[in-house]
Amino acid sequence: MAHLHIPDGVLPLWLWGPAWAVAVLALVAVWRVQRDRPPRRVAYDGALGAVMLAAMAMEVPLGPVEYHLTLAGPIGVLLGPAGAFQAAFIASAVLALIGHGGLTLIGMNALLLGTAAALASPVYRVLARRRTAPVALAGATAAGHTASGLLWLLLVLAGARLRAADVGLDATAARLAVMASVAVPLVVLGVAAEATVALGMGHFIARVRPDLMPGAAPARRT
């Protein structure tokens, strides 16, 4: 659901303005955390950011709807919270340039996508102590996307309530219930789809390159 980007002009300034400010502050924090990272990581972060965007371009048919994946959870686990937030910001910026989301909403969309990605990393570390890597990856992805989906829902409902109040409409609760009845199933579908894909990814990476998973021993060079 983090991929259902909010376009320009539907949310009020006081919602997207502070979101931009928070996103910039988060980027400053990311810069402080990653100040000493090796230059090799820049290329890796860029490549995985591009994987995120390439996955978003693919349509997975799920019954009557075509779902676009984000891979925010697995990318968050592979890059860590800081690298993942940076990748989410860049992905949101590139998507805004092709009309998926808005320029003024890059901050908010980055926060939504970044929440899923950044939260998945610590959850994975907790789950990986008790579960296999693929299951931990799926669980972390589900946790990240649930948080991100709820945040999305909260923002959209808050924005809609404000817009309705702006024009002096009453019975906003009924209107919001109609909106929620459309949006909630999409959030649930998104979480389930992302977690299942993450499970498949986890199985493959754990078999082929287990050293890429966080906490794994580095691969021995031959």
Partner 1 sequence: MSLIERLDSLANAGTTPWHRASAIAKLGLATGLVLCVVLSRSLPLVVALHVLAWALVLSCRMPWRIVLAAATYPLFVSGLFVVATWGGPARAQLLLVLRPVTASLTVLWLIGTTPYPDLFAPVSRVLPRYLADGLFLTYRALFELLGRAERLWRALRMRGGSTGPPAQRLAVAGEGLATLVLFGFERSQRVYAAMLLRGHSGRVCGCRHWAEVGREDLWVLAAAILAGAAVARWGGRA
Report 161-200 residues binding partner 1 (CB under 8 A).
161, 163-164, 166-169, 172, 175-176, 178-179, 182-183, 193, 196-200
φ, ψ for residue 61, nearest 5 deg = -70, 120
138 vs 144: CA distance, rounded Å? 10
Q: What are residue 62's DSSP bridge partners?
A: 65
CB of 197 to partner 1, least distance (A): 4
CB of 191 to partner 1, least distance (A): 12
Restricting to residues 106-145, name those near partner 1 by CB under 8 A. Answer: none
Exposure letters 42-68 (e unless 16+ CB within 10 A, then b)? eeebeebbebbbebbeeeeeeeeeebb
Stretch binding partner 1 (CB under 8 A), from 28-36, 116-124, 142-150, 214-222: 28-36
What track of x and - describes contact with partner 1 for positions 41 through 80 (by CB under 8 A)? -xxxxxxxxxx-xxx-xx-xxxx-----x-x--x---x--
Stretch binding partner 1 (CB under 8 A), from 114-122, 124-132, 142-150, 207-215: 207-215
CB of 46 to partner 1, least distance (A): 3
Stretch binding partner 1 (CB under 8 A), from 112-120, 122-130, 143-151, 201-209: 201-209
Residue count, binding to partner 1 (CB under 8 A): 83
Whole-angstrom CA distances from 23 to 39, 143, 160 are 23, 21, 22
CB of 54 to partner 1, least distance (A): 4
**Binds partner 1 by CB under 8 A, chosen from 14, 36, 39, 217:** 39
3 vs 113: CA distance, rounded Å? 7
The smaller minimum CB distance to partner 1, of residues 90 and 119, is found at: 90
Q: What are residue 61's DSSP bridge partners?
A: 66
Residue 33 in contact with partner 1, rule: CB under 8 A: no
What string of H, E and C letters represents the secondary structure of 144-197? HHHHHHHHHHHHHHHHHHHHHHHCCCCCHHHHHHHHHHHHHHHHHHHHHHHHHH
**Binds partner 1 by CB under 8 A, chosen from 93, 135, 150, 151:** 93
**Binds partner 1 by CB under 8 A, chosen from 70, 86, 92, 146:** 86
Which residues, other chains included, contact 155 with Cβ-Cβ below 8 Å and sequence gap of 6+? 6, 11, 15, 108, 112
Exposure letters 180-192 (e unless 16+ CB within 10 A, then b)? eeebeebbebbbe
**Binds partner 1 by CB under 8 A, chosen from 21, 185, 204, 210:** 204
